[in-house]
Amino acid sequence: MSDDIRTQIGLRPVINVSGTMTSLGASIVVPEAIAAMAAILPQFVEINDLQRKASAIISRLTGGEAGFVTASCSSGISLAVAGAITGNNLLAIEKLPDTVPDRNEVLVQMGHVVSYGAPVDQAIRLAGGKVVLIGQATSTHRYHMEHAITEKTAAAVYVVSHHVVDYGLLNLVEFVEIAHVKGVPVIVDAASEYDLKLFLSQGADIVLYSGHKFLGGPTSGIVAGKKELVRSAFLQNMGIGRGMKVGKESVFGVMAALEAWEKRDHAGIRERETGYLNLWKRTLDGRPGVTALIEPDPTNNPLDRMRVIISAPEAHITAWDLAAALGRGNPPIIVRDHEVEHHYFYLDPCNLHPGQETIVAARLTEELDKARASNEIIATPIEERSRHRFDGALRWPD
């Protein structure tokens, strides 16, 4: 019998070169977090006191005045927005998402309303926030934001993500400046970001991180920032946050992951990942219709990815058909394909176990050789991919 738990329970043993994606389990949890969770699971604790201990560690690593652990970064958005609306008004907390205070508008740049698996604006609306979009999809100017702030504005949300429009919008420093002139707190969604101190140092009032992506902790979100605002967000656990709660194992696991982060050999990890990228580049260079480019992360995280550009007439396969073939094969290789209609996908090296990089290289070779050997170009209409994108979800659990 295989010692891989996935095959034992009938799951595909996928190899993840997509990145820290929730749909794939986000990341490889660090040993320190696994040990911490195992140690606390048999014991009883007073959760609020455990969260106080977490607050101290979160503060130390982020530079915030306080912090706590919640179910996910998405939960963190809802809780932070709710806190900005209700403050410490316990009756208002119980009534959400029906809002007692009139001050419930939340500003978001239109180019930041993206989906991370669910829409950003939905996380705001769940908290009783009324989303006020500023600017257009590809342009936000100072006057858009300045004139959108009224006595009803409770907060402004800023999203840091590879999904957002990366030109023509207000940067965080300017966004904060405009908000703070009118006394509006700024909440930053930094789910997949590596730098735990940058956004608070740039003036954000609350920053939200994923605990289970680069940190390698259990599924969770981290809320960090100014004590009064963090406290108001934490109090939402008596309201909408009840359904977003975390157990003792998640809180303690995140604490351990944060402490491990301080000791991690970040340079050594980058060196190993660079070796993977160079292997894949050697594998792909010179192949007809294939261009392999090593590119930096678009939000300035300290890592690179490989963009694999496919010219179907020469490679005999489209980028989306190649991505699909890699995902169907043995073992399945799941690439980052969110821009595949532009004839490329990405290979992300950050979530590989040792030796898997060579399997990825071999599978790339296998599928590209198979395509070149075909008499016709493998070119499923891109519309078919769109048409059937959610078929599996709509059939679940069948």
43 and 90 part of one domain: yes
Q: Does residue 2 sit within a domain?
A: no
For residue 36, with 0-12 CB atoms within 10 Å meaning exposed, 13-18 middle and 19 or more buried, which class applies? buried
Neighbours of 37 (CB within 10 A): 22
Question: Could you read off the pLDDT tens digit of each residue along the chain, which spans 398 residues?
Answer: 568 888 889 888 999 998 888 887 788 899 999 999 999 999 999 999 999 999 999 999 999 999 999 999 999 999 999 999 999 999 999 999 987 778 999 999 999 998 888 899 999 999 999 999 999 999 999 999 999 999 999 999 999 988 888 899 999 999 999 999 999 999 999 988 888 999 999 999 999 999 888 888 999 999 999 999 999 999 999 999 999 999 999 999 999 999 998 888 889 989 999 999 999 999 999 999 999 999 998 888 888 999 999 999 999 999 999 999 999 999 999 999 988 999 999 999 989 999 999 999 999 999 999 999 988 898 899 888 888 888 888 888 98
Answer with the one of 263, 292, 326 that is the final residue of a domain: 263
Where would I find the H helices in the chain?
5-8, 31-40, 47-62, 73-86, 90-95, 120-126, 142-148, 172-181, 198-201, 227-234, 248-263, 266-284, 312-315, 319-328, 356-373, 382-387, 391-395
Domain that holds residue 280: 266-393
Categorise residue 25: left if φ over 0, alpha if ψ from -120 to 50, beta otherwise.
left
178 and 96 part of one domain: yes
42 and 173 part of one domain: yes
381 and 257 part of one domain: no
223 and 279 part of one domain: no
Answer with the one of 263, 280, 304 that is the final residue of a domain: 263
Q: Does residue 9 sit within a domain?
A: no
227 and 283 part of one domain: no
Whether residue 345 contacts residue 333, with contact meaning beta carbons closer than 8 Å, is answered with no
Expressed in angstroms, the distance from the first to the final Cα of the chain is 26
| pTM exceeds 0.85, yes or no | yes
Secondary structure (3-state) at 55? helix
What's the token pair of residue 387?
């048409």
As for how many domains the chain has, the answer is: 2
64 and 147 part of one domain: yes
Answer with the one of 263, 290, 324 that is the final residue of a domain: 263
Helices and strands per DSSP (H, E), number in the chain: 17, 12
- Give whole-number Cα distances, 77 to 6, 38, 54, 208, 340, in Å: 32, 29, 19, 7, 29
What's the token pair of residue 18?
């997509």
63 and 83 part of one domain: yes
74 and 212 part of one domain: yes
CATH number at residue 343: 3.90.1150.180
